[in-house]
């Protein structure tokens, strides 16, 4: 069974989407994930600003 995370406050910066989700242990986590085909960039952050910065500075690997 796939695990569906419920993302909130999803924004898009270039090809990267940033969303916030509740990790079920009392904390919010923030994910920056690139939607470009073949890129595969996806990282979790404790801090929303860090996730948005990563999205803003992300460059797809060829």
Angle at 39 between CA 30 and CA 32, to 5 degrees: 10
Candidates 13, 39, 50, 53; binder of Zn ion (CB under 5 A) is 39
Residue 50 binds to Zn ion (criterion: CB under 5 A): no
Whether the Cβ atoms of residue 10 and residue 55 lie closer than 8 Å to each other: no
Size of the site for Zn ion (CB under 5 A): 5
Residue 34 binds to Zn ion (criterion: CB under 5 A): yes
Whether the Cβ atoms of residue 44 and residue 54 lie closer than 8 Å to each other: no
Residue 10 binds to Zn ion (criterion: CB under 5 A): no
Report the interface residues with Zn ion, using CB under 5 A.
Answer: 34, 36, 39, 41, 60
């Amino acid at each position: 069974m796939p695990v569906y995370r419920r993302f909130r406050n999803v924004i898009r910066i270039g090809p990267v989407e940033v969303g916030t989700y509740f990790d079920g242990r009392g904390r919010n986590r923030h994910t920056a994930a690139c939607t470009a085909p073949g890129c595969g960039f996806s990282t979790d952050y404790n801090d929303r600003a860090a996730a948005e910065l990563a999205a803003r500075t992300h460059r797809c690997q060829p």
